[in-house]
């Protein structure tokens, strides 16, 4: 899953995600509420689009690995949706 590519025209999200990618970590707890919300929405959107096949995702030609990847993304998307309810 690569939200950076999907959000390449959104400088704010792109810069946050590129920085996190370079650091090897995405620390949502240190972000302000607005930034955290935008990043979580971006991750959720990319996850959903990968699950739905709009984005190829990881190893799309290996059906077993891709299915496991989509299953993990589905759980991540579900947890993000649960957070947004609170």
45 and 6 Cβ atoms separated by less than 8 Å: yes
Which pLDDT value is given to residue 51? Answer: 92
Q: What is the pTM of this model?
A: 0.78
Residue 71 belongs to what domain range? 3-85
Q: How far is CA 30 from the centre of its chain?
A: 18
What are the tokens at 44?
A: 């959720």
Quickly tell me which residue has 């949706």 as its tokens: 81
The count of domains in the chain is 1
| pLDDT tens digit sequence for 21-64 | 899 999 989 999 999 998 899 889 999 999 998 888 778 788 89
């Amino acid at each position: 899953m690569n939200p950076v590519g999907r959000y390449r025209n959104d400088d704010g999200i792109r810069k946050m995600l590129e920085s996190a990618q370079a650091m090897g970590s995405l620390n949502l707890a240190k972000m302000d509420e607005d930034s955290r919300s935008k990043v979580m929405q971006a991750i959720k959107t990319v996850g959903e689009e990968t699950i739905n096949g709009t984005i190829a995702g990881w190893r799309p030609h290996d059906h077993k690995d891709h299915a496991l990847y989509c299953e993990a993304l589905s759980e991540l998307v579900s947890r993000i949706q649960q957070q947004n309810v609170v």
